[in-house]
């Protein structure tokens, strides 16, 4: 009886680990901002493939900033080229610090945040998509942004 109990326990634990390790991430990537200075004309591209357009997706922008960033917010111009070559455009404001200047996100000298761009987004077709980001601040050269990233996950 003890062997069966141990074996059942091990199988149950193994099954839980497999279920916990299921990751619905379709795409996740960071790109370094050249010299940590984001020029107003610089664009950052993320190309990914959608193989299942029957399910909704959550799309998030990821940012890493250091404490040289001079503002508490960041405006982003976001474009997404869809598989049929049509284009969607959005403007997103993200808050990197609170009203008292305390950085949000995790980290000590580099702060990492993830912000939702679209929730429960349905891609119209399967195929290749490209997301493009440009900074929308008034500064021509924006200091302190280390990386920008994109994550695409199946919605839960």
Output the DSSP codes for 72-135. Answer: SEEEEEEEEE-TTS-EEEEEEEEESB-TTS-B-SB-SSEEEEEEEEEEEE--SSSEEEEEEEEE
Q: What is the pLDDT at residue 84?
A: 85
pTM over 0.85: no
pLDDT at 13 over 80: no
Higher-pLDDT residue of 86, 112: 112
Alpha helices, DSSP H only, in the chain?
Answer: 2-20
pLDDT at 17 over 70: no
Q: What is the pLDDT of residues 44-70, one digit of tens each?
A: 999 999 999 999 999 999 999 999 999
pLDDT at 147 over 90: yes
pLDDT at 1 over 50: no
Which residues fall within 8 angstroms of residue 115, CB to CB, at 6 or more apart? 60, 61, 62, 63, 92, 94
Which residues fall within 8 angstroms of residue 118, CB to CB, at 6 or more apart? 57, 58, 59
Q: Are β-strands 43-50 and 37-39 bridged in parallel, bridged antiparallel, or unpaired?
A: unpaired
DSSP secondary-structure letter at 127? E
Per DSSP, the three-state class of 35 is: helix
Q: What is the pLDDT of residues 25-50, one digit of tens each?
A: 999 999 999 999 999 999 999 999 99
Token pair, residue 44, equals 């950052």
């Amino acid at each position: 009886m003890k062997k069966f109990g141990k074996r059942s326990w091990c199988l149950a634990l193994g099954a839980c680990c497999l279920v916990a390790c299921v990751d619905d991430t379709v795409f996740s990537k960071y790109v370094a901002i050249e010299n940590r200075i984001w020029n107003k004309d610089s664009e950052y591209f993320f190309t990914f493939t959608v193989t299942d357009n029957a399910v909704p997706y959550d799309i998030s922008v990821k940012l890493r900033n250091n404490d040289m960033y001079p503002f508490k917010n960041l405006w982003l111009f976001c474009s997404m080229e869809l598989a049929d070559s049509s284009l969607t455009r959005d403007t997103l404001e993200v808050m990197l610090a609170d009203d008292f200047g305390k950085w949000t996100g995790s980290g000590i000298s580099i702060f990492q945040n993830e912000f939702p761009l679209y929730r429960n987004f349905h891609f119209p077709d399967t195929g290749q998509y490209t997301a493009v980001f440009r900074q929308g601040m008034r500064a021509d050269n924006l200091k302190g942004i280390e990386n920008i990233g994109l994550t695409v996950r199946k919605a839960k």
